[in-house]
Amino acid sequence: MFTGIIEEIGTVHSIKQGGDSAQLSISAHLVLEGTKIGDSIAVNGVCLTVTSLDSARFTADVMSETLKRTCFIHLSIGTKVNLERALPANGRFGGHIVSGHIDGIGTIKKIEKNDIALLFTIQAPTNITRLIVEKGSVTIDGISLTVTQVHGQEFSVSLIPHTVGHTNLHTKKIGSPVHIETDIIGKYVEKLLHEKQTSNNADNDTPKSSLTEAFLRQNGF
C-alpha cells in the first residue's frame, strides 16, 4: 500500500522490450535506502516489484496487462518518474490509501495559474470520473491530490508550489497523459450499491441490504 506522497523523482535509465512485456531500469537514490529485491515501489503510481538493484538504480518487470492499462508504452530513456516506496507499518499516513493499481489514463486539458497554485484540469473516461467527487482524493501519476471540481468527464486538482517542484508534474504539458487511480473506498461503495440494486431486482429470497445512496449521503459519504 502507498499514500501518494512522492519521495523522489527518478529517471528512466533503460528499457528492455519483450514480446508483450518490458523491463525498466530507473535511476534513484532515496527510494533505494533499505530496499530489497521483492519490495514494491510505485512508479508514476504503478506498483512494481524490484527484481534487482544497486547503489544507483533498480530494475522492475512490467507485464502485458500493466502495459495495456498505463502510459508506460510512452516511456523513453531520460523520462522523469514519481517514486514512492510501500508504506511501512510504522510509517506516517500523509496522503490517502493508494493501491498502486491504475484505473485508467487521463489527459491534461488545462493548466492555469491560480495565485501561488497551479490548477490542472484533466479529462478522463466516464467510468473513472463517476468515482471522483469534489473535495475527495484522487491519485495522479502516484500523487495524492484533492479534487476541486468535477464536471462530466473532466475534473480539476490544485497543486501547491511544493507539489509541483517535488514531482514530475512540472514536466507535464497540455495533452500529456497521466495515470489515474480513484479512491478505493468509492469503488467498494459503488460495488455494494450495484449488488444491492441487482439483489432488489432479482426474484428470490435474498436478504435486502439496508445500504442506500440516501443513507451514505446522510452519513457524510
Q: What is the pLDDT of residues 94-151, one digit of tens each?
A: 889 999 999 999 999 999 998 999 999 999 999 999 999 999 999 999 999 999 999 9
Mean pLDDT of 28-47: 97
Full-model pTM? 0.85
171-201 confidence digits (pLDDT tens): 999 999 999 999 988 788 877 777 766 666 6
Phi and psi, residue 41, nearest 5°? -135, 130
| More confident position, 13 or 211 | 13
Residue 201 pLDDT: 64
On the CB side of 152, how many CA atoms lie within 13 Å of its CA? 2
52-86 confidence digits (pLDDT tens): 999 999 999 999 999 999 999 889 999 999 999 99
- Judged against a pLDDT cut of 60, whether residue 205 lies above it is answered with no
- Let me know the angle formed at the C-alpha of 63 by 155 and 174, rounded to the nearest 5 degrees: 30
If one counts every other C-beta atom within 10 angstroms of the C-beta of residue 19, the result is: 6
